[in-house]
Amino acid sequence: MVLKTETGEIEISMNAIRSVVYKAMISTFGLVDVSVQNLITRFFGREEEKGIKIVEKEDGLQIDLFVILEYGVVLAKVAQNLQENVFHEMKNTIGIEPQTVNVHILGLSIE
């Protein structure tokens, strides 16, 4: 992703953005785990890559989170907290807000 400023351009890698999103995710109450999207990421991907999909579009970033939540929490509230935490962390750390943050709840953990 390239940010244009009055003095030049700043290029931010997707790995850096993914790390910021991951930090926001793990600080959210009720999150048990991030889900692995495919077999390759499961075995060869870094922890920050798991459960996070970032797509750069013309009008901003689309972030999809694939999560497993704790049984007994209010699912909608935890999903909303995840969205808010990612928006807040992105704005404070990188200086941009994503266009959308979609939360996909793939399961519940009873442990």
The pLDDT tens digits for 11-69 are: 999 999 999 999 999 899 988 877 655 444 554 455 446 789 999 998 889 999 998 89
Quick one: average pLDDT of 92-106? 92
The answer to whether residues 71 and 97 touch, using CB atoms and an 8 Å cutoff, is no
**pTM exceeds cut of 0.85:** no
- The full set of domain ranges for the chain reads 2-109
With beta carbons less than 8 A apart as the criterion, state whether 106 and 66 touch.
yes
Superfamily of domain 2-109: Cation efflux protein, cytoplasmic domain (3.30.70.1350)
